[in-house]
Amino acid sequence: MGVKADNVRTARKYVILGEINQKQTELISKKILANDCIEVCVIGSEAEPPSPHVKSYELKVIHGPIRELDEAGLLKLSKEKDLFLNVTEMKTIQDYYRKLDREPTDIELEAIAQTWSEHCVHKTLKSQVDLEMWHGLPGGTGFQPVDNNSHGQDGRATAIPSHKPFILTICLRKPFLKATKELNKPWCISVFADNAGVIEFDDDSAVCFKVETHNHPSALDPYGGAATGIGGVIRDPMGTGMGARPIANTDIFCFGDPNMKLEDVPKGVLHPRRVMKGVVAGSSRLR
């Protein structure tokens, strides 16, 4: 068109008809039509014209005070910034920036939180779990998690006298690795070593498998979270070895009750039906 555009914004405009109050308007706008996690929702006369006039983006370097916070302050910062880091992780970050003798920027905190997230580093799968267990008690075997520094070997326990508690320490990741290594199947060409697993198909070909979990991203942004999940499933086989050629995708979707009442949905969580529709649409994007 011969016109230079300094900024481009897109917007969707909805006109809601009928006799509804302000609370109902906000409910419809923010819970059904928009996702305030990734979108700016403008209600009322401020939405005119359809593309809200805003100032051009200006870079602002923001530093977050962390070096002098106590444990309660660290946890408050983690919650307010949606870092989802526990006190041990926050103290580790605090110690690091104390050594640097400066406060972290907001993007540094976001980058560390993202890198240390459950989604990216699989903390639960790789963590060590201590269980206090009893044998021979009435009603069967019981267990109870404890805060213990004991260490076991691959989750195996020695003979335990009846009615005596013992500590069982396991790493959730080890049983998967251990079983594969013990089976040592010759058709397992590459396991837990590259971007995806590779197994033998015939004398000339191999099959590359990749599994991607995108529960948390899909809960925040169903369409985008699921689309990037499928993207990862396609990307990683292409980056395995000398590169594999994607030929098919398989999906297993698990959702909450799509007929759940809105008042029963936890605060800050999208309704299961909305998550379901977004995930299906996002997963279909790259097929």
- DSSP single-letter state for residue 101: T
- Is the separation of the CB atoms in 33 and 273 below 8 Å? no
Q: Which amino acid is at 66?
A: I
**Dist CA 31 CA 45 (whole Å):** 20
CA atoms within a 13 Å half-sphere pointing along the CA-CB vector of 163: 1
Burial code (b: 16+ CB inside 10 Å, e: under 16) for 216-229 equals ebbbbbbbbbbbbb
Bin 176: left if φ > 0, else alpha if -120 < ψ < 50, else beta. Answer: alpha
DSSP 167: E
Question: Which long-range contacts link 206-213 to residues 24+ away (Cβ below 8 Å)?
Answer: 208/237, 208/240, 208/241, 208/244, 209/237, 210/236, 210/237, 210/240, 212/236, 213/119
Establish whether 214 is a catalytic residue: yes
Residue 124, φ and ψ in degrees, nearest 5: -65, -45
Helices (H) and strands (E) in the chain, counts: 10, 6
Please identify which of the residues 53, 119, 135, 163 carries the catalytic annotation.
Answer: 119
Q: Of the residues 53, 135, 151, 214, which is catalytic?
A: 214
* Active site residue ranges: 119, 214
